[in-house]
Amino acid sequence: MVWLWSQALYDIHILCPFCMIVWAAMIPLFIWVTIRNISAGIIPLRSGAARVVADSGWIIVALLYVAVAASIFFAFIQVFAGTSGF
């Protein structure tokens, strides 16, 4: 997923609506599956750290959404600033 995101933003320079929907769906899916695996002991982590990760799942998802939005903004800043010539 990260490879496809970086290719779309920095190599192809085009935002595909379908790709962005997939990004939006995969971020919480990945986070919550990882939290479930940590909670079940599949991914070994100390109990205190596992509790902190489990309690902050939505915060992690929100931070990743902000990071993706910021990367889109900075990759296409010419379009947002109106200096792209389009």
86 residues of the chain, pLDDT tens digit each: 678 788 888 888 888 888 889 888 999 999 999 999 999 889 998 989 889 988 999 999 999 999 999 998 988 888 878 776 55
Q: What is this structure's pTM?
A: 0.81
Q: DSSP of 12-44, one letter per residue?
A: I----HHHHHHHHHHHHHHHHHHHHHHHTTSS-
pLDDT score, position 12: 86
User: 16 phi and psi, to 5 degrees?
Assistant: -90, 125
CB atoms within 10 A of CB 70: 10
